[in-house]
Amino acid sequence: MDAAHSVGGATNHEGRSHRKTWLWGGIDLGGTKIEVVVVDAAGRVLGRSRRPTPRVGTPGDVVQAMYGALEEAAKGAGTLPRHLAGVGVGAPGSVDADAGTLASVSNVGQGWTEPYPIAGDLADLSRTRVVLGNDVQVAVAAEYRLGAGKPYRSVLGVWWGTGVGGGLVLDGKPWRGRGAAGEIGHMVVKPGGARCGCGRRGCMEAYAGRGCLERKARKAVRRGEKTRLFDWMEKRGRDRLTSSVWLKALEEQDLLATRLIQRAIRMLGAGIASAINVLDVDAVVLGGGLGTRLGPVYADRIHEAMRPHLFLPERQPPVKVAALGELSGAIGAALLAEPLMK
């Protein structure tokens, strides 16, 4: 696996003996949660932590929450952040790995537009080296190396969560294009259609992303439609319609939830099939919060929704649920940091 350049961070001489154990931290920065793991050279998770992503505040507040979760995960692994060989961060938005900055973030907290030195800030707090990568790209790389993508040479990862992200491994190599390859959520599946969080219309994410699904559900309730989605949300102590709430609603055959998810499946099928027509990959790996939660049932439905749009339906690739589950992103981020010690 190729690595991004490291950014800043003090080297702690006291910690060198600890670093010989070769432990890495991985942080998956999501719209709903921050997932953190500490792994060894074999990719085994030795420590884990999860915190809600701050909904208000500055990018610096997001970094502070990331560091707090990193401390917890490191403690679970019997170490400290400064003793880690490196820390990788998988983040949504526009990633500049060389500069360690993150910009154009819409699904995290209040979001931000201008580049923010997230890797440098985290390196200063953790006192170790930090690398930054795209959240879905690192998750797909982890599935390719350790999970559902292992049997294949080329895979398309579709991360169905707060938004809809994508990542590619082509002929055994991660493919990032000029930096934005794999943004499948922003393929247009309905010209002039629903408004997406990116500001454009008709994107697949505008129909399938969890954030857009929730906005549509709230709008439907204001129009007088009946649903128990928000009752289940409150009972679970959530302030958002999380993947577990959607699963409960589908299991209970809630009419609004079922209709919205059925439309999401149709749009996912059309968009993924269009990507397959261009790339002809061996398999699709379905991940993300909704993808892993609903995948055991809905992966087959997405597979069927793809068929009418495929140029060669007789060669349709399988749709596999991410084997590393909700830890794909955090483990992938840790693998991103692995070459720092080699």
CATH number at residue 46: 3.30.420.40
- Give the strands of the sheet with 130-134, arranged side by side: 45-52, 33-39, 24-29, 86-91, 130-134
For residue 127, name the pLDDT band (cuts at 50, 70, 90). very high
114 and 164 housed in the same domain: no
295 and 184 housed in the same domain: yes
46 and 78 housed in the same domain: yes
132 and 156 housed in the same domain: no
Range of the domain at 242: 151-323
Distance CA 264, CA 205 (A): 9
With respect to residue 271, please indicate whether it lies within any of the assigned structural domains. Answer: yes
302 and 260 housed in the same domain: yes
Distance CA 329, CA 243 (A): 16
Nearest residue to 96 (alpha-carbon basis) of 179, 184, 183? 179
Nearest residue to 167 (alpha-carbon basis) of 287, 65, 289, 260? 287
With respect to residue 145, please indicate whether it lies within any of the assigned structural domains. Answer: no
92 and 231 housed in the same domain: no
Whether the Cβ atoms of residue 281 and residue 255 lie closer than 8 Å to each other: no
Number of domains in the chain: 2
* Angstrom distances, CA of residue 212 to CA of 17, 88, 270: 48, 28, 18
189 and 114 housed in the same domain: no
Higher pLDDT, 240 or 273: 273
Give residue-wise pLDDT tens across range 5-24: 333 333 333 444 444 578 99
* Angstrom distances, CA of residue 280 to CA of 114, 230, 269, 301, 307: 36, 40, 15, 20, 14
185 and 248 housed in the same domain: yes
The pLDDT of residue 19: 42
Mean pLDDT of the 318-331 span: 96
With respect to residue 101, please indicate whether it lies within any of the assigned structural domains. Answer: yes
334 and 319 housed in the same domain: no
Q: What is the pTM of this model?
A: 0.85
Residue 199 CA from chain centroid, whole number: 20
Distance CA 71, CA 125 (A): 10
Give residue-wise pLDDT tens across range 179-210: 778 889 999 999 999 999 888 999 999 999 99
For residue 311, name the pLDDT band (cuts at 50, 70, 90). very high
Q: Give the side-chain half-sphere CA count within 13 A for 303.
A: 18
Higher pLDDT, 62 or 55: 62
For residue 4, name the pLDDT band (cuts at 50, 70, 90). very low
With respect to residue 237, please indicate whether it lies within any of the assigned structural domains. Answer: yes
In this structure, of 51-65, 102-116, 126-140, 220-234, the range with the lowest mean pLDDT score is 102-116
With respect to residue 93, please indicate whether it lies within any of the assigned structural domains. Answer: yes
55 and 168 housed in the same domain: no
Structure tokens given for 155: 């895979």
Q: For residue 219, what are the contacts with CB-CB under 8 A and spacing of at least 6?
A: none
Average pLDDT, the chain: 91
